[in-house]
Structure 1
């Protein structure tokens, strides 16, 4: 098989998923591609971007409408054209996950835990805040108590305020202990997070994307447009796992934890395909002012640096520029 055949298989697997969560894929696209380029894009550009992945224009329209209603996106009309950008609250809701996606590792853990007590909230608010915290990879320590090893009180306060839950939520930061009792903590971690399921999802990610990596080494026939689709799918599937991963310290993880290999594979694939994807993005994306600008400097710091020591694969010739409407 070739790299192109492996990509087609990945796209087909994505299209078979039910329900097909196009809205989630659009959020991935904003985080990976659009936000570093200013974050505002013409709806027609978004349609062109996602069409090769089997997302119809109608589904894109429906999905962005829902994302606006849910507070993720905001829209601006200029004449008959619609332009969409991510809201401030939408950015804060997934920023933590995206920061982890492009980081090579995690800082050393000092042994402290962030504990959130929800018992004082009314039932509806408590349920909503619990789901928001689970989305940020908090674990359930006990009934009405959520925990995380890396979140801090200061990071959580603006989110609780946004959710309307700050006044009735108790947040505590535990003091690190010299003796952390890893055995007891491992038992607590196993009760708070489903590490077996998380490990299975990492294993599935490796099974999905390792064949593409192998073909890129031996039979790389991806076009710039193919690289866009591969890049979006890669980050989308990896991001969905990280949403549930609290990035526990190594001392609390199984020795054969697949998350380490998944991080390395994601980084290697991204570094091979990102620049070819950018060749085509420059001709594909526009806002009310014209073509979108190139990525910000922060973009090139992803995965420890994209420009230095990149694997030396030969890129195919660029595709012709796409006519813009």
Structure 2
């Protein structure tokens, strides 16, 4: 198979999913493509962007309407055209997840845990806050108690305030542990997060995208438009896994943890296709002032610095031109 055929196979698999969660795909598109280019885009541009992935104009309209109702997006009308951007609350909700996507490594863990006690919340609020915390990859330590090894109390307080739950939620930060990987802690981690399921999802990701990476070194016939589709699919599938991954320290993970290989594959593919995809994006995306501006400087710091990687070079990299 050529690279294009591998991409077509990935795209078909995506379009077969039911229900087709276009809202989640739109959030991926904003985080990866639109936000670095100013964050505001004409609805028609968004439709053109997602059409090759089998997302109809009607589904895009319905999905952005729901995202507005849920507080993710806000709309602005200029004449007969609608322009959409991410709200401040929406940006805070997904920003950390996207930072995890593009970061090669994680800070060394000091042995501290963030603990959140939800027992004093009203049942409806407790269920809502619990879902928000799960979205941030918190694990369930016990009934009404959630935990995270990297989130801090300082980061969580503003979010609890935004959710209207700060006064009735107890947040604690434990002291760093000298012995950070005892047997009991490893067992607790497996009870709090389903590592087997998470590892399986990483394995499936590798099985789906490795063939595309291999073909890029043999028969790379992807057009700029193809590269946009490949890029959105890549980040979308990877982001969905990271939403449930607390990025546990290595001492608490299995030695053969598939998440490490998945990160490298995502980085390699992204570096190989992002430049061609940007060629087409420059002509495709518009806001009320005209074509969207180029990516911000922060965009080029993704994955440790965007350089183009060619599989045929056996791992050698060509440095990205200064921007």
- Report TM bin, short chain: over 0.9
Partner of 1:20: 20
Q: Distance in 1 between matches of 2:168 and 2:273?
A: 47
Partner of 2:63: 63
Describe the SS at the equivalent of 1:29.
helix
Partner of 2:316: none
- Asked whether the equivalents of residues 182 and 252 of structure 1 are also in contact (C-alpha less than 8 Å), the reply is no
- CA-CA distance at 1:311 after TM superposition: 1.6
Partner of 1:120: 120
- CA-CA distance at 1:23 after TM superposition: 0.4
- CA-CA distance at 1:313 after TM superposition: 6.9
The answer to whether the aligner puts 1:311 opposite 2:318 as a matched pair is: no
Q: Encode CA deviations 1:147-201: one digit per residue, 9 max, x unaligned.
A: 0000001100111001000000000000012122421111000000000000000
Q: Distance in 1 between matches of 2:137 and 2:228?
A: 28
Identify if the C-alpha distance between structure 1 residues 24 and 180 changes in structure 2 by more than 3 Å, giving closer, same or farther.
same
Q: Distance in 2 between matches of 1:206 and 1:79?
A: 46
Structure 1 runs (4+) deviating above 4 angstroms are none
After TM superposition, the structure 1 = structure 2 runs for residues 64-143 of structure 1, keeping only pairs within 5 Å, are 64-143=64-143
Q: Distance in 2 between matches of 1:291 and 1:182?
A: 55
Q: Distance in 2 between matches of 1:181 and 1:23?
A: 39
- Asked whether the equivalents of residues 202 and 262 of structure 2 are also in contact (C-alpha less than 8 Å), the reply is yes
- Asked whether the equivalents of residues 75 and 83 of structure 1 are also in contact (C-alpha less than 8 Å), the reply is yes
Describe the SS at the equivalent of 2:298.
helix
Q: Distance in 1 between matches of 2:93 and 2:77?
A: 25
- CA-CA distance at 1:85 after TM superposition: 0.2
Describe the SS at the equivalent of 1:84.
strand
Q: Encode CA deviations 1:123-158: one digit per residue, 9 max, x unaligned.
A: 000000000000100000000000000000110011
Q: Distance in 1 between matches of 2:133 and 2:177?
A: 25
Q: Encode CA deviations 1:190-238: one digit per residue, 9 max, x unaligned.
A: 0000000000000000000000000001110000000000000000000
Partner of 1:30: 30
Gaps of 5+ in 1: 315-325
Partner of 1:323: none
The answer to whether the aligner puts 1:9 opposite 2:43 as a matched pair is: no
TM-score (norm 1): 0.95
TM-score (norm 2): 0.96
- Asked whether the equivalents of residues 111 and 180 of structure 1 are also in contact (C-alpha less than 8 Å), the reply is yes
Gaps of 5+ in 2: 313-323
Partner of 2:320: none
- Asked whether the equivalents of residues 138 and 147 of structure 2 are also in contact (C-alpha less than 8 Å), the reply is yes
- Asked whether the equivalents of residues 182 and 251 of structure 1 are also in contact (C-alpha less than 8 Å), the reply is no
Q: Distance in 1 between matches of 2:98 and 2:198?
A: 18
- CA-CA distance at 1:312 after TM superposition: 3.7
Q: Distance in 2 between matches of 1:16 and 1:163?
A: 35
CA RMSD of aligned residues (A): 0.9
- Asked whether the equivalents of residues 103 and 302 of structure 1 are also in contact (C-alpha less than 8 Å), the reply is yes
Q: Distance in 1 between matches of 2:93 and 2:32?
A: 15
